Amino acid sequence: MTVLLNVDVPDVEAATRFYGAAFGLTVGRRFGTDVVELLGWPAPVYLLTKQAGTLGAGNDPRRYDRHWTPLHLDVVVDDVDAAVERALRAGAVLEAPARDAPYGRIAMLADPFGHGFCLLAFSREGYDALVR
């Protein structure tokens, strides 16, 4: 079984630049001008050009202002504060500054296309700290 991450964006070239600068992902393949495969995480990321207003799942029009979704990325890093600075330089928006939690350190951000993500560095105990 394999997992692929598909991210709808209105501008695949801008998204390629953002995800490369923020996370160090590199282009694997291009499928025409509307799809880019990014490599560097355990699962490949496919950036898919989908214009705002076109219909997505459930006939919900796509929008790229900040939106809420029950599914988001947690990007595990060694240093949350350094990763936040890198993401901000790449164009991310900081929504909740880095804070310490029982399981580690976490910050909440959004990419330039409205998709939320967290940067997370686990403590030694990780999520096991939540079951004590």
pLDDT at 123 over 80: yes
Provide the whole-model pTM: 0.90
The model's confidence at residue 52, banded by pLDDT at 50, 70 and 90, is: very high
pLDDT at 120: 97
- Say how far apart CA 101 and CA 106 lie, in whole Å: 7
Residue 67: alpha-carbon gap to chain centroid: 13
Do the Cβ atoms of 35 and 3 come closer than 8 Å?
no
Terminal C-alpha separation, the chain: 32
- Give the domains, in start order, of the chain with CATH numbers: 1-52 (3.10.180.10), 65-132 (3.10.180.10)
pLDDT at 38: 98
Report helix, strand or coil for 68.
coil
